Amino acid sequence: MEDIQKKLGIIGRSKEIRDLVDIILQVAPSDITVLIYGESGVGKEVFAHALHMVSKRAQKEMLSLNCGAIPESLLESELFGHTKGSFTGAIESRKGYFELADNATLFLDEIGEMPLSTQVKFLRVLETKEFMKIGAEKTTRVDVRIIAATNKNLQDLVDEKKFREDLYFRLKAVALEIPPLRKRRQDIEEFALHFASLYCKNNQRPPVEFATDAMNLLYEYPWPGNVRELKNAVETAIALSRNGLLTADSFRNLLRIDGRAPAKNLPVRLNKSSDEVERDFIYRALFELKKDILELKEMVSNLTVNNGQFGDFHMSMANDDRDDLNVDKVEKELILKALQKAGGNKRKAAMYLNISERTLYRKLEKLGFEDFDAK
């Protein structure tokens, strides 16, 4: 059992986590729809992926779609696909996620954000395994395992008439609740040590140690951002540390202690601060800057490696041609390259561009590319 958990990359020895792994192993072999709920950053996607990996669909990739990141007008076409000419701009016929995920798993994140009109159609797919592409005259049949996730209380949404009750009943038949980190504090130490060693390994840094007061602070802290916040705090503390020993002080400025926002987002009052705080501030600014540069570098090299076309773009920049320096044009080129590299997967493309998926959709709409299909 512990072996499987390790293989799945799930950290945590609390009873809560072990029970969740048990449920996953139990429900994985069937095709039953699973709803995962829990606060932001608790590990919903981790568990969704684990469930897929122990299912018979594991040899195919799990597809993910964030219902909250996509404009309502585009969500149905993303989910169900469309035929050529079915609406203005539908130049080509296109497969939706249900079809792309045939024989695999589709992870629908932020399901609470799905518009009511789409919920009706979604429920029909769950019940019949069939759907109509937009503009099509006959139905398409698929074999897809659905995992849905939400950090909203769906019952509240049902009460507010924002979520269909019939769909809610259907989804909650197998529901996995991932408790917040503050309710399974015994996992904190393991998470901290795991994220620290991973970060040091990936960044070629010597291992770090946690002083007792640091572990105590991490143990006591309520972690409103859950595991994601812990991971970020550990990584930033290591990046700012100078001697490989993390103390409570290494974390104090990074956490929302006493209801304050983390120091990173606060204007730093240099007049009041000691040399130490001032130095930390400079280190932190440098760290953020270095992160930005590394991300930019990676983006540029990804695009270059991908198809060599970026070289032309680079050249044209050097030519100082006014048209090629046009921000909109450059942005459009970058977006297209990112989409090509991501094989048309907008979530991945948004990641390459380091913008949110919603922003990417907004930009695509602005460029008249809402129907873009990467070749």
Ligand X SMILES: Nc1ncnc2c1ncn2[C@@H]1O[C@H](COP(=O)(O)OP(=O)(O)OP(=O)(O)O)[C@@H](O)[C@H]1O
Q: Packing angle between helix 327-341 and helix 357-366, nearest 10 degrees?
A: 120
Strand partners, 37: 150, 177
Interface with ligand X includes 153 (CB under 6 A)?
no
- Smallest Cα–Cα separation from 143: which of 81, 210, 57? 57
Which own/partner pairs from 360-363 qualify as long-range (CB within 8 Å, at least 24 positions apart)?
360/335, 361/69, 361/70, 361/71, 361/74, 362/71, 363/331, 363/335
- Smallest Cα–Cα separation from 369: which of 28, 38, 77, 123? 77
Instruction: Pick what 40 binds: Mg ion, ligand X, none; C-beta below 5 to 8 Å, kind-dependent.
Output: ligand X
Interface with ligand X includes 96 (CB under 6 A)?
no
Which residue is it, tokens 């006959």? 138
Per-residue x/- mask for Mg ion, residues 34 to 73, rule CB under 5 A? ----------xx----------------------------
CB of 58 to ligand X, least distance (A): 18
Name the one range near ligand X by CB under 6 A: 36-44, 121-129, 130-138, 334-342: 36-44
Helix H or strand E segment including 5:
helix 2-7
Q: Encoding tokens for residue 35?
A: 């709803």
Interface with ligand X includes 42 (CB under 6 A)?
yes
Interface with ligand X includes 45 (CB under 6 A)?
yes
DSSP string, 137-169: SSEEE---EEEEEESS-HHHHHHTTSS-HHHHH
Interface with ligand X includes 184 (CB under 6 A)?
no
Interface with ligand X includes 40 (CB under 6 A)?
yes
Q: Report the residue closest to ligand X, judged by CB.
A: 43
Q: Please identify, using beta-carbon distances, which residue of 45 and 324 lies nearer to Mg ion.
A: 45
Interface with Mg ion includes 249 (CB under 5 A)?
no
Q: Which 212-271 positions form the footprint of ligand X (CB under 6 A)?
A: 227-228, 231
Going by the DSSP 8-state scheme, the letter that residue 107 receives in this structure is E
Q: Please identify, using beta-carbon distances, which residue of 43 and 96 lies nearer to ligand X.
A: 43
What is the separation, in whole angstroms, between the first and last Cα of the chain? 43
Backbone dihedral region for residue 103 (phi beyond 0: left; psi -120 to 50: alpha; all else: beta): left
CB of 109 to Mg ion, least distance (A): 5
Instruction: Pick what 145 binds: ligand X, Mg ion, none; C-beta below 5 to 8 Å, kind-dependent.
Output: none
Name the one range near ligand X by CB under 6 A: 4-12, 118-126, 288-296, 330-338: 4-12
Say if CB 357 and CB 350 are below 8 A apart.
yes
Interface with ligand X includes 34 (CB under 6 A)?
no
DSSP string, 235-268: HHHHHH-SSSEE-HHHHHTTS-GGGPPPGGGSPP
SS3 content of the chain, % helix, strand, coil (to 5): 55, 10, 35
CB of 231 to ligand X, least distance (A): 5
CB of 170 to ligand X, least distance (A): 22
CB of 156 to ligand X, least distance (A): 16
Interface with Mg ion includes 16 (CB under 5 A)?
no
Q: Please identify, using beta-carbon distances, which residue of 93 and 232 lies nearer to ligand X.
A: 232
Q: Please identify, using beta-carbon distances, which residue of 93 and 232 lies nearer to Mg ion.
A: 232
CB of 27 to Mg ion, least distance (A): 19
Rule CB under 5 A: which residues touch Mg ion? 44-45
